[in-house]
């Protein structure tokens, strides 16, 4: 373990807050585990505070820097020679000639600056030291430390000592020491420090105990130069202090919150404790909670000096949850009232004498009488106030709040049941009315509604509250009314009058809330969907047979269609719905229809609830089909012949058409040629 080996380093750095956050966390984690390191941690904390205290005491005083400066100036006076030395210094520093020249120039500038600036500082210093000297002279009568010491150094120290005397607050932190008393006496004759706490305390002490303060002042005034004497004088107020404290009027009160096992036990013990410490129980109050636990408050009055011991004893009673301890100082108000009371008594005396003198003027008499009444009322009021304060001061008040353990434990549990039921039925309205008819004082229908939408679908919802003893019967009745699609029960245990666990609390069943939704069974989604094809030769006949089979197995045909295509293929599409329990039988029987092909099954696993699987619907969509003509009408011998004849006829027609075209093309030329030949023959015949 790394930290454990270096625990000393970690502890020191922790005290001086030099640890990084990670290291700090690691250290604290280790401290939790390791007892020896924890011990070391505690010790080093104590030692750190001791060291801090010691060094705080030894810290140099405020004038320390001034002394250092003065001494330095004293020992190294400003001389011309120093300038020469300065130049030599600089020459050593700068190697090159150029640098040396620059340094000389700089030195000259510096010297000039010093000569002008130095004068001003010197004057300031002089004024300062004169001031210091005067102050030391002023306090020499009270402090009277050095008379013969002409030496400069010792005089400086005298100033330091005096500065200490002027600052009593500086030593405030070492309260364990007898030096505290010395501060008190110093402060009482040196009101120069009015803000200091000790000064305030000493002032109050002087007013509270004048006979004690008087000799101190005298002692201070007649103090000679001897230090030891001063020491002796300080012991006087130190002795005088306790009576002044005892004269204080302090009201002490405390509040304690305890968690205890048994209230009565605790009360008896508190009574015993109070008697031991010469106190008494002022009031008790207790209150019983719904879960049988007691809670209460006891107010005890004990003598103030026994208060701490009493509180210590209380801790033993149970677990301490909270404790406050308060002290109210009414000294000033008390003595003010006391003084006013005395004044009022004197006034009363005087008024009584006035009455005795028997003046003639009745008006005067009435006036005096009235005044006397007023003063007497004041006196009584003040006496009452003082008496009240006396009683408060005489006894300290301890308010103890007691609470028994496991106050929060619940008184009882309520078992709340909530059931959801979804029903499918062919006749929604009938079931709806049946459910409504269940209503009785123990079965209350809280909500019932019947919906019919545009497409004619009917659904209904019924909510009811059922007394716990009736609930099982009613629920089973409701379940019998249709096919249960979903049934969910939610149970909740609600604590009453507290929270958490309890071994003793009773559990009670609350009313059962039942919500039923009813829908037509057509709307129900199939639990399982199957598609398959059956190949057969006689489609129409087999489709009819299939419908019969389905009817036998309690199924219902939802859709059915028949079609035939030009090639003689026939298709019959049938969709069926059968209860799951008959599904297998139906599938088996399908084999008698023909060859079953392409079976695909899809099952929807519905989450939650109890599903009545046997009655859940299964959808089947079956296609019964035939293969049709094996050879199509476009093939075969006759078709080939027919095609050949028709094609050859087409060819002949085509060639005839071509011949026609050729004739139409050649004819004009032939006619023209024949004409020319005929003309030539005629011309020849005419010549011959």
Partner 1 sequence: MMEASEREVYRAAIHGDREAFEMIIRSQSRPLFAIAYGILQNREEAEDTVQDALVKAWKSRWRVRDPEKFPAWLCMIARHCARDVFRKHRTVPLSKMPEIPGSERPQTTIIDRHLDSALASLPELHRAAISLRYFEEMDYATIENRLGLTNGSLRGILGRALASMRKQLKPALASEQS
- Give the residues lining the site for partner 1 (CB under 8 A): 6, 8-13, 15-16, 18, 40, 43-44, 46-48, 50-52, 54-55, 58-60, 64-65, 67-69, 71-72, 75-76, 78, 86, 89-90, 92-93, 106-107, 110, 114, 117-118, 121, 157, 176-179
CA distances from 681 to 292, 488, 673, 675, 686 (A): 159, 125, 12, 10, 9
Name the residue nearer to partner 1 (CB basis): 108 or 670: 108
Contact 149, 159 (CB under 8 A): no
Considering only CA atoms, which of 487, 477, 473, 474 is closest in space to residue 517? 487
Structure-block tokens of residue 419:
């059931």
Closest distance to partner 1 from the beta carbon of 92 (Å): 6
Closest distance to partner 1 from the beta carbon of 75 (Å): 5
Q: Which class for 466: exposed (0-12), middle (13-18), buried (19 or more C-beta within 10 A)?
A: buried
Closest distance to partner 1 from the beta carbon of 26 (Å): 14
The residue behind tokens 């070492």 is 174
Name the residue nearer to partner 1 (CB basis): 171 or 219: 171
Name the residue nearer to partner 1 (CB basis): 59 or 684: 59
Reduced to 3 states (helix: H, G, I; strand: E, B; else coil), residue 594 is coil
Closest distance to partner 1 from the beta carbon of 323 (Å): 23
Name the residue nearer to partner 1 (CB basis): 68 or 245: 68
Name the residue nearer to partner 1 (CB basis): 38 or 606: 38
Phi and psi for 448 in degrees, rounded to 5? -145, 130
Half-sphere exposure of 200 (CA within 13 A, CB side): 4
Specify the DSSP element, H or E, that contains 383.
Answer: helix 362-394
Q: What is the DSSP code string of 425-494?
A: ES-HHHHHHHHHHT-BTTEEEEEEEEEE-TT--EEEEEEEEE-HHHHHHHHHHHHHTSEEEEEEEEEEEE
CA distances from 654 to 640, 645, 647 (A): 21, 14, 10
Closest distance to partner 1 from the beta carbon of 48 (Å): 8
Name the residue nearer to partner 1 (CB basis): 52 or 336: 52
Name the residue nearer to partner 1 (CB basis): 54 or 350: 54
Length of the chain (residues): 688
Closest distance to partner 1 from the beta carbon of 121 (Å): 8
Name the residue nearer to partner 1 (CB basis): 59 or 687: 59
Closest distance to partner 1 from the beta carbon of 239 (Å): 17
Closest distance to partner 1 from the beta carbon of 224 (Å): 19
Closest distance to partner 1 from the beta carbon of 337 (Å): 42
Structure-block tokens of residue 382:
């003040």
DSSP assigned state of 89:
H
530 CB contacts (<8 Å, ≥6 apart)?
Answer: 583, 587, 599, 600, 601, 602, 618, 619, 620, 621
Name the residue nearer to partner 1 (CB basis): 16 or 356: 16
Name the residue nearer to partner 1 (CB basis): 39 or 324: 39
Closest distance to partner 1 from the beta carbon of 261 (Å): 34
Q: Which class for 482: exposed (0-12), middle (13-18), buried (19 or more C-beta within 10 A)?
A: buried
């Amino acid at each position: 373990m790394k930290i454990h080996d270096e625990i000393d380093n970690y502890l020191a750095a922790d005290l001086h807050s030099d640890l990084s956050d990670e290291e700090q966390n690691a250290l604290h984690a280790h401290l939790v585990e390791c007892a020896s390191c924890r011990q070391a941690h505690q010790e080093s904390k104590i030692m750190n505070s001791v060291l801090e205290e010691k060094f705080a005491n030894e810290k140099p005083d405020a004038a320390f820097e001034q002394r250092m400066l003065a001494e330095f100036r004293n020992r190294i006076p400003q001389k011309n020679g120093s300038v020469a030395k300065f130049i030599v210094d600089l020459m050593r520093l700068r190697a090159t000639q150029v640098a040396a020249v620059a340094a000389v120039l700089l030195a000259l500038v510096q010297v000039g600056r010093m000569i002008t600036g130095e004068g001003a500082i010197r004057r300031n210093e002089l004024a300062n030291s004169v001031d210091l000297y005067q102050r030391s002279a002023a306090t020499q009568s009270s402090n009277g430390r050095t008379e013969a010491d002409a030496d400069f150094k010792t005089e400086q120290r005298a100033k330091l000592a005096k500065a200490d005397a002027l600052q009593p607050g500086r030593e405030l932190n070492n309260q364990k020491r007898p030096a505290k008393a010395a501060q008190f006496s110093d402060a009482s004759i040196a009101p120069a420090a009015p803000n200091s706490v000790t000064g305030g305390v000493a002032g109050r002490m002087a007013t509270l105990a004048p006979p004690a303060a008087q000799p101190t002042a005298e002692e201070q005034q007649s103090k000679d130069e001897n230090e030891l004497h001063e020491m002796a004088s300080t012991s006087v107020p130190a002795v005088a202090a306790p009576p002044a404290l005892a004269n204080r009027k302090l009201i002490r009160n405390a509040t304690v919150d305890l968690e205890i096992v048994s209230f009565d036990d605790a009360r008896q013990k508190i009574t015993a404790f109070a008697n031991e410490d010469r106190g008494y129980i002022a009031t008790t109050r207790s209150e019983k909670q719904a879960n049988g636990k007691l809670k209460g408050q006891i107010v005890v009055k004990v003598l103030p000096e026994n208060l701490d011991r009493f509180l210590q004893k209380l801790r033993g009673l149970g677990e301490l949850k909270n404790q406050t301890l308060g002290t109210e100082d009414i000294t000033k108000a008390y003595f003010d009232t006391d003084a006013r009371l005395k004044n009022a008594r004197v006034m009363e005396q005087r008024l009584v004498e006035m009455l005795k003198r028997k003046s003639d003027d009745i008006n005067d008499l009435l006036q005096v009488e009235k005044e006397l009444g007023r003063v007497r009322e004041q006196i009584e009021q003040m006496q009452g106030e003082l008496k009240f304060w006396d009683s408060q001061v005489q006894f300290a008040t301890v308010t103890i709040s007691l609470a028994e353990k496991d106050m929060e434990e619940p008184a009882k549990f309520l078992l709340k049941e909530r059931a959801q039921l979804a029903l499918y039925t062919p006749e929604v309205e009938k079931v709806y009315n049946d459910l409504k008819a269940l209503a009785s004082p123990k079965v209350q229908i809280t909500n019932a509604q019947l919906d019919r939408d545009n497409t004619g679908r009917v659904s209904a919802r019924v909510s009811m509250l059922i007394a716990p003893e009736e609930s099982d019967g009613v629920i089973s009745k409701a379940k019998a009314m249709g096919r249960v699609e979903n049934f969910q029960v939610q149970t909740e245990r609600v604590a009453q009058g507290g929270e958490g666990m309890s071994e003793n609390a009773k559990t009670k069943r609350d009313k059962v809330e039942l919500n039923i939704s009813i829908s037509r069974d057509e709307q129900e989604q199939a639990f399982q969907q199957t598609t398959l094809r059956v190949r057969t030769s006689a489609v129409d006949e087999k489709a009819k047979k299939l419908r019969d089979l389905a009817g036998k197995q309690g199924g219902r045909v939802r859709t059915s269609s028949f079609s035939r295509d030009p090639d003689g293929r026939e298709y019959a599409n049938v969709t069926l719905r059968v209860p799951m329990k008959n599904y297998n039988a139906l599938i088996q029987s399908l084999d008698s229809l023909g060859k079953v092909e392409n079976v695909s099954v899809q099952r929807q696993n519905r989450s939650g609830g109890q599903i009545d699987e046997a009655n859940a619907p299964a959808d089947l969509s079956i296609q019964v089909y035939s293969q049709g003509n094996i050879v199509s009408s476009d093939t075969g011998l006759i078709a080939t012949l027919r095609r050949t004849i028709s094609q050859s006829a087409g060819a002949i027609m085509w060639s005839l058409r071509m011949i026609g075209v050729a004739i139409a093309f050649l004819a004009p030329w032939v006619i023209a040629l024949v004409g020319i030949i005929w003309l030539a023959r005629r011309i020849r015949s005419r010549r011959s």
